[in-house]
Chain A
Amino acid sequence: MNKWEYAESIESSSIVNIDKKYGIFIDGNFQSANSKKFIKTISPSTEEVLSSVTLGNEIDINSAVESAKEGLKIWSKISGTERAKYLFKLARLIQERSREFAVLETLDGGKPIKESRDFDLPQVAANFFYFAGWADKLDLSWNAKGLKPYGIIGQIIPWNFPLLMLSWKVAPALATGNVVILKPAESTPLTAILFAELCQEVGLPPGVFNLVTGDGTTGAALVKHPDISKIAFTGSTGVGKYIQKETADRDIGLTLELGGKAANIVFNDAAIDQAVEGVVNGIFFNQGHVCCAGSRLVLQEDIHDEFVTKLEKRMQSLRVGNPLDKNTDIGAINSKEQLDKITNLVNEGVKEGGSIFQTDCELPQNGFWFKPTLFTNAQPSYRISREEIFGPVLTTLTFRTPEEAIEISNNTEYGLSAGIWTEKGSKILWAADRLQAGVIWANTFNKFDPSSPFGGYKESGFGREGGRHGLLSYLKVQS
């Protein structure tokens, strides 16, 4: 299908310097860990080994907690305005070094440079700017008595938006006067390590930001540590439930941002071409590695054929390949493990009877890739219609009446996000009131902003990140 000449435009990776090995960042310094085990972090687009990072163990977590305790002593004596200055300085430094961060994010995670450069990094800086300004206005934020920081926060973040999720967690936690121990995802630790270097550069007091790399065992050690007063986790619903269970015998704060299976409803009175764009952006953004991805297209029956024809044509124009190429729309799947999961679910969808459409494109030889995929007539009972695939796979269901659209959309244990496409304002408000989801995009999708609260209903978790509401995730009400 590639009929026209194509000239690639590769972003140079020479801007980044990656060490062969990294320790953990505690007491304001990189140190070698107690654990002598390392995890190789690879580039999912080439399978080339980029670096080895520490597989932090329980003793490393203990050291991080000791460091955080010292950090808290200093941080709790600093005024809000002084905390704000550190965060503003971090925001500026991130802007200044954003190209370096973007390339590193793309190398380590496989996402298109177009997204890491134009979406992730600007949002990261914006998060630090936004929450910096709250640090000295907490008393004005909510008309509630006794709001106090928790103390030491354990934060565990996923691999889909590594640095952005760091900023969603770290910026509000520090602004509200807490200190942090961060455990980045096993497959994408490098931008968090670079962030730790920035903390040194701005002179953030030692122990205020601590970083322990590792895998699920490292995260579990963090969750179990008795001196952690709050866990903020973004990841799968399965692990979220584990964390709630594991912390059952402690008085501990929890923010859980978990999975989703968002409906993207297109009514027959929608602006169809815009809706096609929105649906494509809703599911293929970041290879579909998005918890709030619009993974279920809920389409009014009478526009089904027209819409699907346009959608398939638009999908065909998506460019899959080298994420460092500035023209790439869809980069590499983050890991072999995730690729296997997507492949299995899609194979099962075919077996169950779904009609599959995949774009005609050449995939690179090395690395992990998956073609943009659309299932039509995917019954609500199919696993592909119910489970979070976390990949570039869209399923389709049709409806006749608006009531039916709402019923289909809410028929899931998830409740993170939803999309509504119609040109009729009253229908948007009607549907938005009825959809059980924490974020609703009307005539748009996958929009984010530091000032806009994000988080789920039902089994998509609890607590909000972003905005004035996000502050409450890091301030406890003392009765």
Chain B
Amino acid sequence: MNEIKKTYKNYVGGKYVRSESGKTFRIDLKNDFYEVPLTSRKDIRDAVVAAKKGYSNWQKLSPYNKTQVLYRLSEMLEGNFETYQQLLQDAGLTKAKASEDIHKAVDTIIWYAGMADKWEQMTGNLNPVAGDFFNISHQESLGVVFTLNSNNQSLNSLLLNMLPALTVGCAVISFNEENSVIALKLAEDINNSDLPGGALNIMSGKFELLIEDVSNHVEITAMAIYKEINNHDKKIIKENASKSLKRIFINPPTMGLEALFPFIETKTVWHPKGR
């Protein structure tokens, strides 16, 4: 029988899109190869527009609602277990390693889903100021975050790179290179998980072609780099970031409360007490 092969597209603003450039690049897996979008500079700008919209819709959902949306993502993943297993095996993992990775990925989502309505309690507090004031510090999400994901052929790694920023309410542009096939496959489950369009955008390409555009874009509030990059690239990123004081995080933690620190900032509100 003549098998029909899927074309993987970028996932931006809740829609599957090709690169406007029409360009793709080839990823060779063990048994198969895929042509995935070679994201262009214009695609990045479009993604930022989508992410800004996604940010306002995602951030305003109640924490309870966010938890349920993320939990739904784990349900979707579990439902497509075999497809992921096949893809990961094609990417070079043994069958056992592939299942282990998917189980871990589900656990990662469960951990973050349950975090969405708790992190504010763990990071905020009343401040005991000297005076008759009510004074409270709580945390807010930064905005649009660009993540450069690790090249690990792993569903779990991908989620560990996306979820810290997403969980606190940021919109994420999740950028992938060698793991693009798995990432773009994941986009389908994200699409089915009730996440507002634009909250999590998944793109494939070569970061070196976009480094200037991403690091110069003033509406990307923060960049988190989860893969090894050379010093020259680090320097370019941070120099460009300084034009708008963009927050840059190189290899931040991926689990624990500390994984969330990069993507939140403290707002402190004062009010006098009196009669």
- Which residues of A come within 8 Å of B, CB atoms? 126, 142-146, 237, 240-242, 244-245, 247-249, 251, 256, 258, 413, 428, 432, 437-444, 447, 449, 451-455, 457-459, 461-462, 464, 467-469, 472, 477, 479
Contact = CB atoms under 8 A, between A and B. Distances in A.
Given A241-B242, A439-B268, A452-B268, 17 more contacts: A142-B258, A145-B256, A146-B258, A240-B245, A245-B238, A437-B267, A443-B272, A449-B129, A449-B131, A453-B127, A458-B245, A461-B245, A464-B266, A469-B266, A477-B253, A479-B251, A479-B252
B268 A459 contact: no
B135 A449 contact: yes
A453 B245 contact: no
Interface string B129-147: 1110101010000000000
B130 A449 contact: yes
B111 interface: no
A442 B238 contact: no
B231 A249 contact: yes
Contact of A462 (B122, B133, B251, B265): B265
B250 interface: yes
22 contacts: A142-B258, A144-B256, A144-B257, A241-B242, A245-B238, A248-B242, A249-B235, A251-B250, A256-B245, A258-B245, A438-B268, A439-B270, A440-B270, A444-B270, A447-B129, A447-B270, A455-B265, A467-B127, A469-B137, A477-B253, A477-B258, A479-B252
A245 B239 contact: yes
A142 B252 CA distance: 17
A432 B247 CA distance: 23
B122 A438 contact: no
Given A251-B250, A449-B135, A455-B266, A472 B261 contact: yes
B170 interface: no
Contact of B261 (A144, A413, A449): A144
Contact of A447 (B131, B242, B252): B131
B239 A451 contact: no
Contacts of B271: 428, 442-444
Contact of A444 (B256, B261, B272): B272
A437 B266 CA distance: 9
A449 B127 CA distance: 9
B253 A438 contact: no
A451 B266 CA distance: 13
A441 B270 contact: yes
Interface of B: 122, 125, 127-131, 133, 135, 137, 231, 234-239, 241-245, 247, 250-254, 256-258, 261, 265-272
A438 B266 contact: yes
A304 to B, nearest CB: 25
Given A241-B245, A432-B269, A444-B272, A451 B238 contact: no
Contacts of B270: 439-442, 444, 447, 452
A454 B250 CA distance: 25
The 5 closest A-B pairs by CB, nearest first: A248-B238, A244-B242, A449-B129, A144-B258, A245-B242
B127 A452 contact: yes
A440 to B, nearest CB: 5
A85 to B, nearest CB: 22
A237 B265 CA distance: 18
Contacts of B265: 438, 455, 457, 462, 464
Contacts of A468: 125
A452 B129 contact: yes
Mostly helix, strand, loop or mixed at chain B's interface?
A: mixed
Contacts of A439: 267-268, 270
A240 B128 CA distance: 30
B117 to A, nearest CB: 16
A467 B138 CA distance: 12
A142 B130 contact: no
A451 B122 contact: no
A4 to B, nearest CB: 31
Contacts of B245: 237, 240-241, 244, 256, 258, 458-459, 461-462
B238 A440 contact: no
A442 B239 contact: no
Nearest to A437: B267
B212 to A, nearest CB: 14
B88 to A, nearest CB: 25
A438 B267 contact: yes
Contact of A440 (B241, B247, B267): B267
Nearest to B244: A459
Contacts of A143: 122, 257
Contacts of B252: 477, 479
B257 A447 contact: no
A447 B241 CA distance: 32
Nearest to A454: B268
A345 B236 CA distance: 35
A455 B234 CA distance: 26
Nearest to B245: A459
A428 B269 CA distance: 10
Nearest to A470: B266
Contacts of B235: 248-249
B258 to A, nearest CB: 4
A477 B129 contact: no
A261 to B, nearest CB: 15
A259 B252 CA distance: 27
Contacts of A457: 265, 267
B108 to A, nearest CB: 16
Contacts of A479: 251-254, 258
Contacts of A142: 257-258
A145 B258 contact: yes
Contacts of A438: 265-268
Contact of A453 (B137, B251, B253): B137
A444 B129 CA distance: 14
Contacts of A451: 127-129, 135
Max count, chain B CB within 10 A of own CB: residue among A244, A444, A454, A468: A244
Nearest to B253: A479
Contacts of A458: 245
A244 B247 CA distance: 10
A453 B129 CA distance: 11
Contacts of B251: 479
Contacts of B135: 449, 451-452
Contacts of A454: 268
Nearest to A245: B242
A145 B238 CA distance: 26
B266 A126 contact: no
Contacts of A251: 250
Max count, chain B CB within 10 A of own CB: residue among A126, A142, A258: A142
